[in-house]
Structure formats: C-alpha cells, structure tokens
Structure 1
Amino acid sequence: MVKLFAIGYAGRDKEKTWEHIEELKEIGVPEPSSVPELYALSPSLIDQSEEISVVGNKTSGEAEIVLIFDENGDVKVTVGSDHTDRDLETVSIQKSKQICDKPLAKETIDLADIEDEWDDIKLYCDVLVDGEWQKYQEGTFASIIPLVEILNFLEKHDVPKKDAIVYSGTVPLINGFVYGDGYRCGIHSDKLNKTISIEYKLDKLKE
C-alpha cells in the first residue's frame, strides 16, 4: 500500500522560515516540533480529478514538489497541491492537512533527468478569484532545502523508499493567503522544455 507524507517548513533560508513560523504563531498556528517537520497522511487523500470538496471558505492550495517512490524504488518528480484548511491549522497542522484532498498531477518526470538542474526548476501557483486567475506563488526549487537534504530527512524519519508519495516543499506566497475558487499549480524544466501542471476548482460545502 502506498504511503503519503508531507514535509512542512522546508524553506532553505532558515531565518525566513522561522520568521514565518513567528508570523503564524501570532494568528494562532502552533509552532512545529521540528524544522523541517514531517506529516504522515492518509493516501486516500490523493486526488487527480478537476474538483475537490472542502468545508467552508478558509482553505487554500499550495504548489508543492512531489517525489514519488515507485514499487521498484525509482524516483519520479511531479507537482501537487497541499490544500489545507487554514482555520483548522490553528488547532492542529496535522488535522488541517488531513481534512483536505491533495491534488496531484498524473504526469511525472524521472528524477535522473532533472537532478542536475534541480535548483533552477520553476514552481508556481495561480489562484482563481472572481473568475480571474492571479499569480499566487512563483519561485524555483532553490527556495526549498536541497534535494540531498530532502532525501536525508526522509531517510532519518524512516520514510520508505518504495511505494511512497512525498509532498516535499513549496515556494513563498506573493501576497499572503488567498481563499480562491480554484488553483493552478505547475513545475517547469527549461532543460527538458517541459511543464507539468494541475488545475482544480473547489466545491465549497457549507459549514
């Protein structure tokens, strides 16, 4: 059975990461027990459809590097969205992640094909607000802890090297949280001239 994990607080600039943690503490989000932090989630959350259902109006997407360790131990790279309930995040980060489906692209790239350009790969997210797409996140993998640190971190926490999906970090928000009606996330390799993206809308259930 495939296992699902998410790495939180994986920014490469540790000082900025701690500044962000302090900002979140001011709005009630508890401090993580470690930085980075690992969250184990239910694999049933993986969603490759074009719509996810959420409760209320305070959830938001987050573009993530996703590493997929297949049954042979080979590593694929793709993009996903660590969609999270921001209200529930003030109670429990783990629960806020577990309550929302995790959109995931169907297409992947072999890690070996992009490992030499890792820091230069682009990661972005747009948000749909009032029928218009707006830039929400934009950066490169260089904003996230290096690949070797990600792999060492996973090994330290006994994450299996087969049959595992790991949401492995994101880039900063441009203007803070936006609770939109949809999200469009992608990664782009200049070397391969290739973009992998997902786009999904929200079905907002009433509380």
Structure 2
Amino acid sequence: MIRLEREGAGVAEAEINDIVVGGMTALDEDAIHHHLEEMKAIGVKMPDTFPFFFRISAGFLTQADRVQVLGTDSSGEVEAVVVTLDDGRWLTLGSDHTDRKVEAYSINVSKQMCPKIIGRKAWRFDEVSGHWDKLIIRSWTTTDGVRALYQEGPLASMRHPDDLTARYLGGAGKLAAGTVLFCGTIGAMGPLAHSERFEMEIEDPVLGRRIGHGYDVEALSRID
C-alpha cells in the first residue's frame, strides 16, 4: 500500500501489484553501447538489446525515511517514476537502490536485493508530459556527515514514459492500475558510492514546483 499526496486531487491510497524498472533508457544509443561494454568489461552480464525492463517484487516498494541493506555495496539512483492509479497516471520520483557487488555477477538478482523507494507527493502526468524534457532530476549523498551533489540533469536525455510503456508492452496499450514504472536514471558525477543518506528531487521549472524525498541507509553486517 502506498499513500500519494496528489497535487490538486487530494490523497490517494493504493495497492501496488507491479513494479517495472527500466534500464538503459537514455536517448543517446552510442553512449549506451559504450556503457554496456564498460559493464561487460567488469563482469556484469548485460542484455544485448535496450532499453530493457525488470519486474521487481511489489513488496520491495516503500516510501520510508529509512531502509536496511546488506553491507555497504549498494547505492541509490534518482529516477522519474510514473504511478498508474484508477484515475490515471501520476508522476513522482524514486530511487532504484541497487547492490553493486551482486550486480557484478547478476543484474537480475541485484535488482531484487534492495528496497525501491518512491516519494510521497505526485503531479498529474498529463500536466508534465508535454514538457518532459524540461524536468530536472538530482540527488545528494551524505557520507561521514558530508553532503554532496551526486546526480543532476534534465530528462531531455531520457526516453519519454509513453515510449517506455509502448516498448515494455510490445506495442499500444496502457499500464494497469497498480503499476509503478521507474523511468531510468542519469549518470553520477563521480563513482557509484554507498552513502549513509540519499536525497533526491525532481524539479518542474515550467510550473515552478519540486518534489523531494530522502532516506537514511542502515548497512546490515554481512558474512562473506
């Protein structure tokens, strides 16, 4: 069950049945090929076609202020997130938190290792669809008490959610109510890094508004 504060439409509570995480959703296909080769070079088995999609266990979705992960090999990444409810689509933001150590031997398993965090506020998707390329996402990490900008960039470099939906469904159609679509992320400003806190934001400069969310990360001890 999630609870969304929908701008202009009040609060909605909804059961989520499906989480879909898009991968390699950037528009620059040359950059994607380069990144795929980089990942393969360090042993990560990647699909040969893109964008690709992972279905994640619905129970992994959370709006919590604190999450628990195994060890210190995971990291967050900010994404635009489309939530389909009975009254249509809503846009919020989220973090596809991923275990990078596990990712090195199985990207599929890594996606099922960590919670998927989304915000508590949302905008009607139709209000932003026409200026999708103007939206900006950014994130910050806090490590040893030092907060630093981790990601920042416009969604102009990413595929539109309508394009992702059509590719995921294999043609025309709509995602069913109770579906959450993570639309992919932008590159980090430095190396991927675990942090004790992850904060994220999506900005709509056209309509002058922002949605933000943050969560603390508790690293559970692991036995290797």
> Same-fold call, TM > 0.5?
yes
Q: How far is the alpha carbon of 1:94 from its aligned partner?
A: 1.5
Q: How far is the alpha carbon of 1:148 from its aligned partner?
A: 3.4
Q: Rg: which structure is higher?
A: 2
Q: Distance in 1 between matches of 2:174 and 2:58?
A: 14
Residue identity in the other structure for 2:143: V
Structure 1 gap segments, 5+ residues each: none
1:14-29 to 2 correspondences below 5 Å: 14-29=29-44
Residue of structure 1 equivalent to 2:156: 142
Cα-to-partner distance string for 1:172-195 (whole Å, 9 max, x where unaligned): 111121111111111000122111
Residue of structure 2 equivalent to 1:60: 75
1:197 pairs with 2:215: no
Residue identity in the other structure for 1:42: S
Q: Give the secondary structure class of the aligned counterpart of 2:129.
A: helix
Q: Distance in 2 between matches of 1:15 and 1:130?
A: 36
Residue of structure 2 equivalent to 1:107: 121
Q: Distance in 2 between matches of 1:191 and 1:94?
A: 37
Structure 2 gap segments, 5+ residues each: 1-15
Q: How far is the alpha carbon of 1:47 from its aligned partner?
A: 1.1
Q: Distance in 2 between matches of 1:151 and 1:141?
A: 16
Residue of structure 1 equivalent to 2:135: 121
Q: Distance in 1 between matches of 2:48 and 2:40?
A: 13
Kindly report the root-mean-square deviation, in angstroms, between the aligned alpha carbons of the 2 structures. 1.5
Q: How far is the alpha carbon of 1:137 from its aligned partner?
A: 0.7
1:112/1:127 Cα in 2 relative to 1: closer, same or farther (>3 Å)?
same
Stretch moving more, 34-43 or 80-89: 34-43
Normalized per residue, the structure richer in strand is: 2
Q: How far is the alpha carbon of 1:95 from its aligned partner?
A: 1.1
Q: Distance in 2 between matches of 1:2 and 1:68?
A: 11
Q: Distance in 2 between matches of 1:177 and 1:32?
A: 21
Residue of structure 2 equivalent to 1:43: 58
Q: Distance in 1 between matches of 2:75 and 2:221?
A: 16
Q: Distance in 1 between matches of 2:161 and 2:181?
A: 13
Q: Distance in 2 between matches of 1:57 and 1:27?
A: 19
Q: Distance in 2 between matches of 1:95 and 1:159?
A: 27
Stretch moving more, 111-120 or 79-88: 111-120
Q: What TM-score do the two structures reach when normalised by structure 1?
A: 0.94
Q: What TM-score do the two structures reach when normalised by structure 2?
A: 0.87
